[in-house]
Amino acid sequence: MKQTRFRLQPVLELRRTEERTAAASAAAAATAAAEADRRATEHETALGSAELPRTMPAGSFVAAMVLLRTAATDAADARALATASAEQAEAVRAEWTAAAQRTKGLERLAERHRLAQQHIADVAEERAADDLVTGRAVRVAGLRGPTWRD
């Protein structure tokens, strides 16, 4: 009996490749988000630990305040970047999940195809065994059964 191949096998292989690519992208996005969060935390920690001396000349005070303002802006920008990176990582992870679901659907179809082919093979084997047994019974009955002289 001729075995039919799963016609969607190339599509399944493509979907598996897409899923692996999406998984790699999700991992890279998660790493980038974690790195951005780490940098933002470093900026915030450095800003929180900054202390001004109790007394200082007015020019130094203005320069220190400008420096602290710049550091605060950098920390806020780093936190905004970390938030955007986390959102991007979530979007990429959603794409990976969708790719995995598409792959899983095709894998289920491939499994159904395999089971159908196995069922066809099993039925053919049973039919062949039945034909052998039935043929033998007919031949045996034909040898011992009534003849035209009876």
Segments making up each domain of the chain, as ranges: 9-104
Q: pTM of the predicted model, to two decimals?
A: 0.66
Packing angle, helices 58-144 and 9-48, rounded to 10: 160
Q: What is the pLDDT of residues 15-48, one digit of tens each?
A: 999 999 999 999 999 999 999 999 999 988 888 8
Which pLDDT belongs to residue 88? 95
Strands, E, within the chain: which ranges?
Answer: none
Q: Say which amino acid occupies 64.
A: A
Q: What is the pLDDT along the chain (150 residues), one digit of tens a residue?
A: 566 788 888 898 999 999 999 999 999 999 999 999 999 999 888 888 888 778 888 888 888 888 889 989 989 999 999 999 999 999 999 999 999 999 999 999 999 999 999 999 999 999 988 888 887 767 766 666 555 555
Query: Measured between alpha carbons, how far is residue 86 from residues 35, 68, 93 in Å?
Result: 10, 27, 10
Residue among 93, 2, 79 at smallest CA distance from 39: 79
Which pLDDT belongs to residue 2? 65
SS3 content of the chain, % helix, strand, coil (to 5): 85, 0, 15
Contact predicate 102/8, CB 8 Å: no
Which pLDDT belongs to residue 149? 55
